[in-house]
């Protein structure tokens, strides 16, 4: 059965800390892995990863994919309170499969 597993489910850190969010997957026909940030409304797109070992960066956020070990990580450095959100990982094969998300809370 295709599945996407995120860990941890919930994380609370202080502003300025660095966090690493994990996403592992098992799918039949992998096409892409996507990361999203969801606050109060619909998710906003962060990264799309298709190739192993190539880090994608956007400001303090970065992500990398390992297609051999079937996982991806999302790093956030120098966290700010505005980073508080649910971070969703999704894998696209013949359809899209979401993980349950990691709820990140940044304390001021």
Partner 1 sequence: GAVVSQHPSWVICKSGTSVKIECRSLDFQATTMFWYRQFPKQSLMLMATSNEGSKATYEQGVEKDKFLINHASLTLSTLTVTSAHPEDSSFYICSAQSIPGLAGGYEQYFGPGTRLTVT
69 three-state secondary structure: coil
Spatial distance between the Cα atoms of 92 and 99, rounded to a whole number of angstroms: 12
81 touching partner 1, by CB under 8 A: no
Least distance between partner 1 and beta carbon 20 (Å):
20
With contacts defined by CB under 8 A, name the span among 14-22, 46-54, 66-74, 75-83 that binds partner 1: 46-54
With contacts defined by CB under 8 A, name the span among 19-27, 38-46, 68-76, 77-85 that binds partner 1: 38-46
Q: Computed from CA positions of residues 72, 87, 101, 36, in that sequence, does the dihedral angle turn out positive or negative?
A: negative
């Amino acid at each position: 059965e295709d599945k996407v597993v995120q860990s941890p489910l919930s994380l609370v850190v202080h502003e300025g800390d660095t966090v690493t969010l994990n996403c592992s997957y098992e799918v039949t026909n992998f096409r892409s892995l996507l990361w999203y940030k969801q606050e109060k409304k619909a998710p906003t797109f962060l990264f799309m990863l298709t190739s192993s070992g190539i880090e994608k960066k956007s400001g303090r956020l970065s992500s990398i994919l390992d297609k051999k070990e079937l996982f991806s990580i999302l790093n956030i450095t120098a966290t700010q309170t505005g980073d508080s959100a649910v971070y969703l990982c999704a894998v696209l094969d013949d359809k899209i499969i979401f993980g349950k998300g990691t709820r990140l809370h940044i304390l001021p």
